[in-house]
Every structure is written in C-alpha cells, then in structure tokens.
Amino acid sequence: MDLLESCGVEAVGIAVAVVAVAAGAAYFYLGRKSKGSLDPENFRDFKLVQKIQLSHNVAKFRFALPAPTSVLGLPIGQHISCRGKDNLGEEVIKPYTPTTLDSDIGYFELVIKMYPQGRMSHHFREIKVGDYLSVKGPKGRFKYQVGQVRAFGMIAGGSGITPMFQVTRAILENPKDKTKVQLIYANVTYEDILLKEELDSLARNYPDRFQIYYVLNQPPESWDGGVGFVSKDMIKSHCPAPAHDIQVLRCCGLPPMNKAMAAHLDDLGYTKEMQFQF
C-alpha cells in the first residue's frame, strides 16, 4: 500500500444541524449506523464540494454523500480505494484513509499530500469542485472494536498518519472507550507534518488518554521534539511497554522505515501478535 500517496461546508439550517447531532449521538452512544454509502465490489462516484489548500502540496478534499443524513460506512481502521487518471490519461487506483468518521454525516474528507511524480497525485491536483471521485470499499485487514486492547502504540511517517488519526479520533470521541493511545509521528521537516492542528487539539482535550511525540529529520532551531530517525529509545519512551493487552500499529510509508520499525519492535520484545502494519 503506497500510503505516502495518500492522506467547511457551513450548516444550512437548524433541521440539518439537529439531524447531525442526533446521528452522531446514535453512532457512539447507541452503536447504530445508517446503511453505508460504499460498495465493496463496485466504484461509486462522489461529488467534490470543497477543496482547501493546506500547503504547497497538501490539500483537504470534502466529498458529498448521497444525502445530508448519509454516512460513508467505513469501519474504523479500514480504507477506501480511489480511482483516477494520471498525466498520461491512464487509470490509476490508490488506497486512502478518510480523516472523517461515520459521526460526520453527509460527507467524507481526505487529506492528500501530492507529489510531483505521483500518478494519483496528478488526479488530485487536477480535480475541481463539482467533479466526481470514484471510490470503492471498505478495504483492509484491520477493524477496530472497543476494548480490544488496553492501549495502542502508534508509529507513523508522513501520510501514514491518516489511518492513525482515524483510529485515534474514533477512540477518543467515544465516551464508552477507555483505550489509551501513544503516537510517534515522524517527518522530514516541520512543514511536512499533516493534521498537526487536529492532533494537537486531541492531545489538549484528552491529555490522560492521548500523547503524541513528533520526530523531525530536519528540525527548526527552536524544535523541542525528537530529532533524526525513530529509534528504539524513542519507542521505549513513547509507546506502551510490551504486554498481552497492547498493540503497536505502524504505517510508515517507505519500506526502509517499515523494515527498521519492525526490527526495533522485535528487539524491544514486542511479539508479532502485538504488531500490526497498515
């Protein structure tokens, strides 16, 4: 999965706002969800209704669901397949993890980092409000359920933050979920950090349940986070210790980092059952 290729509309009436609140409460408090908008076998088209440029190569895309009360229907920890065309007009399909949950009704959002030579990046650079994106899903081997572990450690690199953000947000915003999360998030520069405002907000709002440790290879002068590459000492200090009721999730993008993190976790005593790679 090439996750380095991965990863508001204002309210228009009191009635829609009330429906949104009710649907969100039902999602978390009652455990009931409307029928999802995805099809695991066939691509469906969703209209782009908002595109916000977050930096020179990162944008947030909001796509409308079939109705204001629709949900995407994506299980926590899973992703979608998006279909587009590269600069040669050839079809390309890539996996992405939305940053929204089924408590966000009527739409879903993708935060995409676009690379100069990326085939799907070309599609996202060219797509305009009013255009449609073809999506299929859900996809993926990971399905989160409340209480499956006492705590998660997470190691993410670059755009690999999107599945971690999805899982973390779902855990923290569910009042019935007491799972703790410790996240290590690595990037090259400060400007490369995706979803930093959202992550910092979660850390402020849930200090007893969520901790994040940023690591930069090329930090600014005033940087007080980690420096260089994610090390065994960083994992030991900023992830839960090996135990039968914890799990370390990793989504590091490039194969060398994934391989290095797997080796670090093995050396620190995390069994294969305690590890999961997106």
Q: Which residues are catalytic?
A: 79, 96-97, 251
Please list, in sequence order, all residues whose beta carbon lies within 8 angstroms of the beta carbon of residue 6, skipping any fewer than 6 positions away: 79, 94, 95, 96, 97, 110, 112, 113, 159, 160, 162
Q: Where are the alpha helices (DSSP H) in the chain?
A: 14-25, 119-126, 161-172, 196-205, 232-238, 255-267
Tokens encoding 133: 């994106």
- CA dist., res. 117 & res. 214, Å (int): 27
DSSP 191: G
Tokens encoding 107: 């739409």
3-state class of 221 per DSSP?
coil
Contact (CB, 8 A) for 112 and 86: no
Q: Tell which residue, 51, 157, 57, 161, has the closest CA to residue 115.
A: 57
Helices (H) and strands (E) in the chain, counts: 6, 12
